[in-house]
Amino acid sequence: MNIENNLLLEFFAKLFLCRRFEEKVYQLILDGVVLGSVHLSLGEEAAAVGTIGALEKSDYILPTHRGHCQHLAKGADPNRLMAELACKESGYCRGNSGSIHIFDKENNNLGSNGIIGAQFPIAVGVGRAIKYKKMKDCVACFTGDGATNQGWFYELLNLASLWSLPVIIICVNNLYGMGTPYCNTSLVSVNEKPRLFKIRSEVVDGNDVEAIYLIMKELVYLAKTEGKPALLECLTYRWMGHSAFDQRPYRPKEEIAKWKSMDPVKRAENKLRQRGVNSKVIDEIKDKVNNQVEEAADFAIKSKFPEFDTSMQM
Amino acid sequence: MKKVKYKDAIREAMMEEMAKDPDIILVGEDIAKGYEGCFGVTKGLCQVFGEERIIDMPICEASVIGCALGAAQLGIKVIAEVMFEDFITVCFDGIVNQAAKLKTLSGGQYNASVVIRAPGGSAGYGAQHSQCLESIFMHVPGLYIAIPSNAYDAKGLMKTAINFGGPVLFFEHQKLYNTEAEIPDDEYTIPFGKGNVLNTGKDVTVVAFSYMALLALDACKSLESSYGVSIEVIDPRTLVPLDFEMISASVKKTGRLVTVEEGVLRGGVGSELVARIGEECFDYLDAPTKRIASLNFQIPISPLMEKAVIPNKDSIISEIAAYLNLK
């Protein structure tokens, strides 16, 4: 099953924005503009764009610490996002957050978390509140593979199952938790873990935005109409290190090359071309995104740093 | 006016606020039908408000707080019950890293409108069911701490806590639950950051809170009648924000400060109080400050040991008498 070309174009535009945005972030880290602890998700863009593409604006997300693409996919303004990464007052959180704990209330983005797995107990409350308020929404709770070893993960599985919460856990499995391969951390694969709790669990090619979207669409429908929680494991790869300055000595070069050949952004572009979309249309998108990212960097650089006032003490 | 028990006063406050605002819910372990709260604070609430609003959780304290925080982000005010103050360590991340920081990290977009109720203090259950951990949370900016010593304050402070809009730790005390106070029939609230002078005096200022406020007041009355001294006893009622103005004004008048608490001495609430008094009121002091607290040890389960570790009326009397050199 294929999706409409228009929708695939929309996804491509988002994927390309994520790619260029993060490439720019990396450059701005080296330039000393983007500050603090920054986790890039180059290579993992499709997992964010495909899953969030199946959500409505009113649906909620709980992104991870590696969340730039998740914020952008949910609708974050690149200017304010970049400004936040630069810890500037014009950023989403007035420069209080930096990269790892960004919130965007306008887009029902409930905030990424610097504590790995801390989003799981929060997802319980979001799911419960959606049900209590009789809203039609769901919450997509993002995680890496490593965080599924936290005890909180099992509390969420248990409660989402017990209470039929409209919670969809998106596992962006990029094979490594920091420098440790997943296989060294658990004998149970991520998608097996929810099954004990009678939660539906799916695995998908995490570099195929179309496949991700299609399965996510179904999971969202079931979460909203039948209160069925689910887990979707997107198999993908982190091109960069855990954080910006990680030289990744723990990974074979061939492994990186293999995954780069499955570039999710290129794959979407190739699909568009195969389906007869005019190169001009694709190039226009690229130009627009390139300008948008330059503008975001410029906005971040020119914005002011917040200042501390002693009256802010709590 | 009517006589009401501490535990019933807390329940009354919750019920009255819940009746006004459908977006207030409770979460906790064994708080709904069946047990209705380990200490009976939530007795009858489920019958009135239903299981949608009185949410029984499985045994997973981290998710009790997580549930409160997630719901708060969707605009619900949540009162979470942690069965014993000791169990709060299981949800430390939710309180310290999440609730306390939500408002600042989100640049004011979200606020953790949660009240976390937890009974502390020793009632003879040993090291893991007796602790007073308030000083740990005092150390974390972004958390607010109410710690009532009587039924009247408990009701008024709970009402303020529910509508406060930030994360409030509401520390109750196992030995206070059945104590009674006169409570007016009409609506009232007690603001945060306003202490209460339990006894007016001029020779020494004694600051005590929670169950220790009762013991300290009792001890000071004995000292006054035995030795003719005049002791000012202050219950700050909330530790964050703290009515430092009231305490420092009193110390400036008396020239002496004694703090009494059930938490352990090292790094306790008293440590913070005497440090601030030392910094800001040094010139008014006529003597070194004095801290009375539990000794630096696990709270024992065996009665003689427990008596030796936790302050009691007699030990408070003898320590203050020695401090004032009363003979």
Cβ neighbours of A110 in B, within 8 Å: 70, 73, 110
B139 assigned to active site: no
| Chain B contact set for A120 (CB, 8 A) | 66
> Strand, coil or helix: what is B186?
coil
Q: Does residue B327 carry a pLDDT above 90?
A: no
Residue B244 is encoded by which pair of tokens?
Answer: 């430092």
Number of domains in chain A: 1
Contact B163, B108 (CB under 8 A): no
Band the pLDDT of A1: cuts 50, 70, 90.
Answer: confident
B61 included as an active-site residue: yes
CB atoms within 10 A of CB A241: 18
The pLDDT assigned to A9 comes to 97
Quick: pLDDT tens for A57-88: 999 999 999 999 999 999 999 999 999 999 99
Domain membership of residue A307 (yes or no) is no
Q: What is the mean pLDDT of residues A136-160?
A: 98
Taking the C-alpha atoms of residue B209 and residue A291, their distance in angstroms, rounded to an integer, is 61
User: Is A303 a member of any domain?
Assistant: no
CATH number at A196 reads 3.40.50.970
Domain B196-321: CATH architecture, name and number where available: 3-Layer(aba) Sandwich (3.40)
- The kind and range of the H/E element at B168 are strand B168-173
Q: Tens of pLDDT along A271-296?
A: 999 999 999 999 999 999 999 999 99
The confidence score (pLDDT) of residue A295 equals 98
CATH 3.40.50.920: which residues of chain B? 196-321
* Interchain CB contact of B109 with A (< 8 Å): yes
Q: Which two tokens stand for residue A43?
A: 């290579």
Give percent above pLDDT 90 in chain A.
94
Average pLDDT score, chain B: 97
Q: Do B62 and A156 make contact, defined as CB atoms within 8 angstroms? A: no
Mean pLDDT of A25-41: 96
pLDDT value of position A77: 98
> Residue range A209-226: average pLDDT?
98
**Three-class SS state of B226:** helix
pLDDT surpasses 90 at A156: yes
Give the whole-angstrom CA distance, residue A45 versus residue A208: 10
Comparing CA positions, the residue from A132, A131, A152, A133 lying closest to residue A141 is A152
Q: Is residue A302 part of a domain?
A: no
- The residue count of chain A comes to 314
- Asked if B63 lies within 8 A of A152 by C-beta distance, the reply is yes
Selected from 3.30.420.110, 3.10.20.30, 3.30.830.10, 3.40.50.970, the CATH number assigned to the domain covering B2-183 reads 3.40.50.970
Residues 6+ apart with CB under 8 A from A312: none
- Nearest CB to A105; choose among B65, B109, B142: B109
Q: What is the pLDDT of residue B248?
A: 98
How confident is the model at residue B88, as a pLDDT? 96
Please name which of B264, B269, B209, B211 lies closest in space to residue B234, comparing C-alpha atoms: B209
What the block records as the tokens of A296 is 């975001």
Q: Which of A118, A133, A151 sits opposite B98 (nearest CB)?
A: A118
Assigned domain for A208 exists: yes
Q: What angle do CA B213, B219, B222 make, to 5 degrees?
A: 145
Q: Does A248 have pLDDT greater than 90?
A: no
CA distances from A222 to A5, A195, A226, B195 (A): 25, 17, 5, 53
Select which of B81, B129, B173, B262 is catalytic.
Answer: B129
pLDDT in tens, B276-303: 999 999 999 999 999 999 999 999 999 9
Cβ distance B107 to A159 less than 8 Å, yes or no, reads: no
Residue matched to tokens 């080296």 = A30
Residue A43 lies in a domain: yes
Torsion of CA A212, A213, A214, A217, to 10 degrees: 120
Residues of chain B with CATH 3.40.50.970: 2-183
Query: What pLDDT is stored for residue B57 in this prediction?
Result: 96
Which chain A residue shows the shortest CA-CA distance from B138?
Answer: A314
A139 sits in which H/E element: strand A139-144
Nearest in space to A125 (alpha carbons), one of B70, B185, B202, B176:
B70
Q: Examine residue A260 and state whether it is found in any structural domain, yes or no.
A: no
Please report whether residue A278 resides in a domain: yes
B12 Cβ contact partners less than 8 Å away, ≥ 6 residues apart: B4, B155, B183
**Residue A258 lies inside a defined structural domain of this protein:** no
pLDDT at A245: 81
What residue numbers bound the domain in which A87 lies?
5-252+268-297
**Beta strand residue intervals within A96-235, DSSP E:** 139-144, 167-173, 176-177, 180-181, 200-205, 230-235
Residue A241 pLDDT > 90, yes or no?
no
